[in-house]
Structure 1
């Protein structure tokens, strides 16, 4: 555990606690648990700059910029220009999250924003982080239409192994990011996917404060709990946690183009 390095590819530190000092403390506590890299996600542009100004002092925190599909009706007409501008900031390493959500948000706008986020990511050559809530078929249709050449990250992966194979047939540079949901006994299809997806396409994330690993059910999730998810994935793949942690860390460094130090 001491030499293990963990890269949390998707965290909402601003949702763990509204207090700026507490947010930095959570990031620093994660360092003690070997989480040397965290990609902080903002669901809207309004929240991005305050969180960036606060959390950029934490050396293990990086940023992605975008508008979640749940927030597409809560922005302004110049949002693309703002994303382009914010993407130039130090430690911003990805575009998103974007994508589609069956439960929340305007469906037509979601598709439009998803495509335009893909165009931005293509232009600046950043990986894109994709949100999918019960719309796997529609996500695949958009990706087939737009044919992105940048790495795509299917965050909080919730589909099965068959779906992953369909994605990999078209996008061999796709990444599948697993959360604490893979640790639950009822998640059989998700566990099958975690077992069979090639190791070079695997990532791990906290999705904090959500998706808590089963052993901690009832708590609010934090990046520091990510080692429970890694241990479970290692067991599913009949490997040791140190080896899987190294694979996951190296994959994250590759897709984001950074190498955090402990």
Structure 2
């Protein structure tokens, strides 16, 4: 429990700046990130002929390792982690007011009924209070409430929130695996400097400790995690482009030992 509370505090500050707008245009690529794929190919092309492509082979092996360690980012479910159907605070507050009004009405009717039993009010008023109490209780039963309104109750909204968080944590656990996905994806920061942003430091530390899924206790945490995955996906595409460009350069120069294929996704 103490570890989860510490993890939640570690994410709270960074999550405040997590803003995700579905459908927005892709972030502009930093000037020093665009040439990353080309630089990888240039390193292959610039390798001394006398080295028999050893440097190129080492670079290709490094790129292939990056691809293998971060390939699970391609399994990301955007809709599940974006949680676009999340009940907003206004809807929850409105539902809570309706619940409080329902409780107050039921309590008032019960008081009127009990007052009749003690003789403070006439019997016919007490009978009316009892009837009102029964009707109000029936209106609070989910099966009955759905007959006259489709508006979700306060309890329905809370359950929906908990279910969405549970599904997001379960998906994050699947992505992270036993090694910590985003911690391994951080090695691709050469191809996307955004991965070095300090607001992701808490996520990376938890991922390294394989404690990240349990720490995603708020929607803001999940959305911050999704933002990192999107940036990692961009980096993955650039690493893949650099890998194939390096392969082509090695083929053109006849360095067969440097030619390799990316390993299959796990």
Q: TM-score range by the shorter chain?
A: under 0.3
More strand by share: 1
More helix by share: 2
Larger radius of gyration: 2
With a CA cutoff of 8 Å and minimum separation of 6, indicate the structure with the bigger relative contact order: 2
- Alignment TM-score, normalising by the size of structure 1: 0.20
